[in-house]
Amino acid sequence: MAQEPNAPATPPRRRKKPKFGDTRHLFAALREHLAAGTASLPDFAKLVAEGLVADASVIYVTRHGELLELAATHGLNVSAVGRTRLRVGEGIIGLAAASGDVLNLPDAQNHPRFVFRAETGEQDMASMLAVPVKRAGRTLGVIAVMSRQVRIYAPVEVESLATVAMLLAEILARAGATDVGDEGFSETLPRRYGGHVISAGIVRGKVLAYGAAAPIAKLLTEDTEAELMRLDTAVEEANKTLDGLITANMPGGNASRDVLEAYRMVAQSSGWLAQVRTAIADGLTAETAVDKIARQLRERMRRVADPYLRERLADIEDMVGRLMVALGGMAPKPERADGMILIVRRLGPADLLDWHTRGVAGFAIEEASASGHAAILARALSIPALQVERGAVEAAVDGELVLLDAEEGTLVLRPEPEVLQVYERALAARDERAVALTGYRDVAAITKDGTELKLMMNIGLALELDQLDRTGADGIGLYRTEIAALASGGIPDVAGQAAEYGRVLDRAKGRPVAFRTLDLGADKLLPGETAQTEENPAMGWRSLRIGLDRPAILRRQLRALLLGAQGRPLQVMFPMVATVEEFRAARDLLEAEAGRIRPAPERLEAGTMLEVPSLLFQLPGLLAEADFISVGTNDLMQFLFAADRGTPELADRYDTLSAPVLEMLEKLVTYCQEAGVPLSVCGEAAGRPLDALAFAALGITTLSMSGNSILPVKAVLVEADLNALRPVLRELRRAGAAGGSIREPLAVWAREHNLAV
């Protein structure tokens, strides 16, 4: 953008120089220039320098070729405008543009990235405050103020310059400013982005790039009361749309309602909305204030390490979008988006459900976590979803073709015809396979050699219960009670918990249900809780350890489980048990509560998850106490191999189909059979057909997995002859005794016997 003329036809009236930190005077001056249509870049530079009592100010605008050009200045040599250029990343200005960070430097000339430009006349300047000018995630330039004194700029000055940068971004965007990184970008070439699977599935469709705010027509206001009323009206309208979503489009009832109620609690919290009201009182319009506070939250949350806390930003972003639509600052959603794939930076649960009702077939989200609210709903609704690496949002073009592979973890924009043909064939084969698998729903899980198996489901929300009948599962091997608590934003009272557990038993229709007590801590924190300062939270104060240290919480849950059973058989399973003493203490609490509840359960069983390796060395004592054992492969694997399951570099390094794991499982089977204690394997490994085949050959006859895995696993097992597999498995284990995986040779054997592993 070239320098604009700074000789207004109607100059603004003269005013006293605003005092330090008086943002209202600065915004009032900017409002006058904007209203008069005389808001040139030199005016901006002058007003900012005067408003922040700075000796100089500069505005750099991005140009093609990763360049930043001086477009306006006050206090430096005006002759340098249009001549002084910096590469993105060069100098302090270039560093602010490249990093997207605010730089507050008391002695800028001694900063290692400082680059001197003699033509600007900046040799007398010491301190600098540089703020990137960004819009919709794109950097359009940098605005900075300088002082001859060595000083740190105060928070109020940083805040004021950040607001000016936001206003400047709208002006630059309207003038067609170039984004950093645009040079050399092609909107026709294919682009691939990796990612992590949130909810499995493969889907193809057209890109839906929604969420970019329209240019704000009016940035500043004199009538703050009117703007506050507009905000209140927008909040009320957003609440009504959310209420309608909760009551009219709820597939599965109360559990999904809990997810959205938790979203409401975070998104409508008084804290950030109070900041919006303060920004309006400073002279911003309602939509400008909402946009400003949302940007600040994004910047803060970007630096937060805790993934759970970062995920809460998606809930607020959801509400920001609803408010911007209500205020006219964003276009409303299309009525239908059938078969499209939404590519966004963040996504809250209410928005995900809303888009699902409009027909969206898949989601690619740059900032998401597998434990977030949106991820919980995506899995419950079986919608393919991927946490995709950064850059996908900027590269996506509305309406273009995209492939979302939420199994291998890949997003392909504008795929080549050859790639598209491969996926088309794979999808056609998948559809045929899905139809064929439905034929196994009512088939008993009995292998060709006559081994009877039980295939159970792992669930955490009531809306997943529909899969019991759809898959023909034999029951629920793991009901994760903490998921509903996380979704609802807190642990319900006894009556609320009892109602939930009673509904689960009702929907199970007599099939067994193993309720795992609250598995909180580590990466599963309730809203309002802060993570413990532990070096290894997965091995820290979590799960049953919390329950035993805070027995009132555990007692309330046990009481609720007994009340919800209403005399029916009840299975209670304790997580993260490390010693027989811990299990005995938990069981004593259960039996004490059972003595007070009427009607008593027809049959009460207490079992444990086997996740901590120490239990393997206490089996005789454990088997004398426990009514059943379920091997939790996810946690057991990470503890057995000292490999954090959330570390991508270790994801494929250790395998359940390796000699130490298979040796451990075989011995466990022998101990349990001798003691007459039922044994099951639960977790991701149980849902992989090849792993399930190996477990069954070892003598494990109960497997618990996600609903989507039931039919593929059953299809393999009913076609397998375990008597033929066992000697092969023994030989493969001998060959892999050094600890290596036998996955590949076992898969070869399975395919030779026409098993679809």
- Report the alpha-carbon distance of residue 463 to residue 715 in Å, rounded: 25
Q: Taking Cα atoms as reference points, which of 103, 149, 141, 104 lies closest to residue 125?
A: 149
What does DSSP say about strands 401-405 and 410-413: parallel, antiparallel, or unpaired?
A: antiparallel
- Mark out the alpha helices in 268-305 (DSSP H runs): 270-281, 286-302
In the DSSP assignment, the letter for residue 463 is G
Q: Which residues of 734-744 are buried (b: 16+ CB within 10 A; e: fewer)?
A: eebeeeebbbe
| Catalytic hit among 25, 33, 74, 682 | 682
Taking residue 295's Cβ as centre, other Cβ atoms within 10 Å add up to 19
The structure tokens listed for 300 are 């803060």
Residue 443, CB-side half-sphere exposure with 13 Å CA sphere? 19
Residue 496 parent element (H or E): helix 494-508
- Report the alpha-carbon distance of residue 184 to residue 61 in Å, rounded: 18
In the DSSP assignment, the letter for residue 735 is H
| Catalytic hit among 111, 373, 672, 753 | 373
**632 phi/psi in degrees, rounded to 5:** -90, 95
In the DSSP assignment, the letter for residue 543 is T
User: Has 682 been annotated as catalytic?
Assistant: yes
User: Has 672 been annotated as catalytic?
Assistant: no
- Report the alpha-carbon distance of residue 392 to residue 406 in Å, rounded: 15
Q: Taking Cα atoms as reference points, which of 359, 195, 356, 333 lies closest to residue 260?
A: 356
Q: Taking Cα atoms as reference points, which of 525, 579, 519 lies closest to residue 554?
A: 519
**636 neighbors 610 (Cβ within 8 angstroms):** yes
| Cβ-proximal residues to 560 (8 Å cutoff; 6+ apart), any chain | 494, 495, 496, 497, 498, 501
The structure tokens listed for 385 are 């979803």
Catalytic residues: 373, 682
